[in-house]
Every structure is written in structure tokens, then in C-alpha cells.
Structure 1
Amino acid sequence: MNTFKAYLKKEMLESWRQYKYLLLFIGIILFAILDPILLKLLPEILKSKINGDLASLIQIDMKSAVQNYIKDLNQVTLLIVLLTLMGSLSDEISSQKLIFPYSKGANLSSIVIAKILHYAVTILIFIIFGFIINYYYAVTLFSENIIAFKNVLISAALISIYYFFVIILLMFLSSIFKKGIIAALLVLMLHIISALLVNIDKIAKFIPYNLISLANSFTTENILTTIFSVLLYCIILSLLTIKNYKNNTFA
């Protein structure tokens, strides 16, 4: 427990000093504000370039504003998160920073768990805050096809769980590869593959990306199966990460 508290504090201090909080905040919150505003301005921007009735060409409502934010979380924000966190574990392994703390009794399992929970909770807070902001702007700017706030919060929770999986997957791959950029690229590749596999009905509910699909459609079909599957993957990957971390630290 002492190791967990110490390294949780260490991660918080380093994230503050290295502007990781700022990068994550901008990557998640910025689009929450910009998406509804840009969608509202889009018809006016295109009016001078496109002849005809734009209302029939572009259907923009409150639901589409939230869905556009989910799309950005699934694309640009994901890239920002990966680039920000990609060296969190691999740098310590490659530089062998933990040999001395371990010799003094530090628990490596607690270190890994502290890293995972720190970033998972940070992103959870930012995502929920982002959805609240996005909902406010979307409801303010658009009056059609309103989604209940509780459904938006469910989508926020699903996105957060997916990011929890992404963080653990990134940590796992970082425990294998010495360069964080390789781990980040592999996570991005698996993210794309997962997006393709979710189109296969028989296995969709077991695919992590299904959380994104459910969040985007504001439905709860097979939601528990997907959540339990993803949490199981997270547990397995966490255990493998701890094992690799111990092996590579003293390799």
C-alpha cells in the first residue's frame, strides 16, 4: 500500500510537471466545446459555396452533435492520449529506474496498478466533464432530436471503460517493447481492427470497440456482455503487464 501511494503521488507530480494533464484536458474537452459550435456554423459556412436548400442536404440536430463528439473521442482524442501516455511504462523499463526502489522493498505490482488507475481515473473525470459540457452546448444550440441526459452519461461511462482498456493495453505493450511509439502504434492498429471486427454480429458483443458503437447509438443491447468481456481482458492484460514488468526490469 505504501508503494501504491508513493507512486500514485509520483505519477500525479510527473503528469503535472510534464503537462500531461493539460494535453489530456485539451484533447478531451476542446472537442466537447468546438463540435456543437462548428456544426451550428456549418450551414452558414457552406451557404456561400453551395447552391440550394442546405436544410435538405445537411441534417444537424442535438443527437448528431453528441455523436460527432464521440467520433472525435474515438479518433483524434485517442491519438492524443496514446502519444501522451506512450512512454509512461516503457521509459522506466528501458532506463531501469526501478532497480533501486525495488531493492528498497518497492512492490512492482503496486507501481503498475498505480500507473493504470491514475491515468484511468484522470481520463474518466475528463470524459465525464467533456460530455457534460458537450451536452450543454448541444442542447443550447440545437432543439431537435434531444437525447436524455442519463443516456449521454451512459455513453460517457462506456467510452471511459473503453479508454480504461486502451490504457491497460498500452501499458501491456509498453512492457514488451522498449520504444513507447511502437506500443502506441500497435494500440492504434488494434483499435482499427477492433472497429472492423465489431461488424461481425456473432462476435461483436465480445469486441471492446462495441463499447464505442453502443455509446454512439445510445443503446444498451448486449451492454453487460461487452462490459464484462472488456473487464476480463483488462484483468488478464494487467496480470501479464505486471509479469512482464518484473521480468524486464531485471533482464
Structure 2
Amino acid sequence: MIGVSEVSEPDYGIDAPGVRRGMLIAGIGGVALCSVAVTAAVRATGAVATVSGWAAAGAALLAIYGLGMAAYMTYGSRVGKRHDRERLLDLADVVSPLTGCEAVLDVGGGRGLMLVGAARRLTTGVAVGIDLWRAEDQDANMPEAPLDNARREGVADRVSVATADARVLPFADRSFDAVVSHWVVHNLPDAADRARVLDEMLRVLRPGGVLVLADIAHHEAYRAHLVERGLGDLRILDGGLEAAMAGALSGGTFRPKAIVGRRGG
């Protein structure tokens, strides 16, 4: 396995920019409300002071939650997910070691986080990324972004992208040695569509090839479906305490985990 040093700093964007913006607005609103409530509590007496004090406490919690989640999402998008990428690809290399000449598909690759990470581990192989390039899933999401990041990380000659729907991948059966996907499948609200994407990933994966599926929800449904379809040697990367805390703070809607496995014959 051969790595390539970075030529210049890549930009893998902010995930779920609308959600982060909402958290930031909530946090700022909480600060403003807390300031007003504290002022009222200081100036008032009796029941009004008590109510204002409780309002200040609630607003402070809102500020802490909103600003904290916005900061966490920013850190995760800018720094954390690049570390997670390497952990996922390292685990994939354990399940099915890369020689450097493989064909890798990144499903819903956005700005190229996994696509470029996989390409860095190739020598004569190729990494292909597909997406519908929706800006609500990732800021400035467009086909040029992953190609620019590939250039910045020195792997432009190993990377290509295409516009395609993950539910109907435009590739022949058993076309790829590895299929990767990072925080994509949950964007489909219908369970049948999510299962269809998993089936498509397995369809284009060669026997003995490795699947890396990272997402923020629906993990048990993914695991059960993939096992039923013959994915073996499963490894689960559960994210540990950080993922558990993120899940608790988000009401269970954001808990990053990953499934890595090898397709049977």
C-alpha cells in the first residue's frame, strides 16, 4: 500500500450546512434571550424575577446546545472526518488488503473525502465517484470539487467522477474491487430505497471485494440486510463514546457508525 503526500490543503466542505446553520442560529438566539432574561431578573422582584431566572437558565441551555453542536459539526466536517476516513480505509485494508491496482467506487462521494482517500492508496488503480451533487447535503457540492481535491492531494490521475443515482448505479455487475460510502444512504427517507442502494453496491462489487458503509443512522437495518445478501467478515466501527454522546444530544438522529465487510462468491 503506497500513500501520496498532500500537495496542498484540500477542502472537504461542511456536511449538512442547513442543520449547522440552524444550530448556530439557535445558539445565538439563546445568548440573546439569556441576556434579556437575566436583565429582567435583575430588575424585577417576586414572581417576575423567578420566572425570568428560569427563562435565563433555559435560554443558556439553548445557547450551549446550539453553539456546541455547531462547533462540533464544524470540527467534524473540517478535521474529524479526515481522521475517520483513514480509520475506515485501514479497516477495509484488513478485511481485504489492497495491492494498489484496484478499482474503487465511492457512492455519493460529494467533495471527494473517501474518493480521494482511496485514490491515495492506489498506484495503478482507479477511484470513481458518483453523486447527485445536492448542496443541502454538503456545501458547494459539485463535480468540480472532488476533482480539485484530488489535484490538491496529488491523485488527479487516479480519480474520475460522474453524475448518477445510487439507486441505479450505471456500472456492470462486479465492476469494482471496493465500494465505499460515507454518510449518504440515510438521506433517502424511504427504507425500500435505502435497501435498493445497498443492493446496488453489492451488485457492482466483485466477489471478495470490500464494502465500507459509514452512516449516521439505520445501522442495524443495514447490517441485517447486508448479512442476508451475503456480506461476510463484518467489522463494526461504532464511534465509541463520541458517537454515543452525539447520538444522545441529537435525539438519536446523528450517531456515526460504519460497517465494513467482504462480499462472498
For this structure pair, what is the TM-score category when the shorter chain's length is used for normalisation? under 0.3
TM-score using structure 2 length: 0.27
Q: Is the strand fraction higher in 1 or 2?
A: 2
Bigger radius of gyration: 2
Q: Which has the higher contact order (CA 8 A, sep 6+)?
A: 1
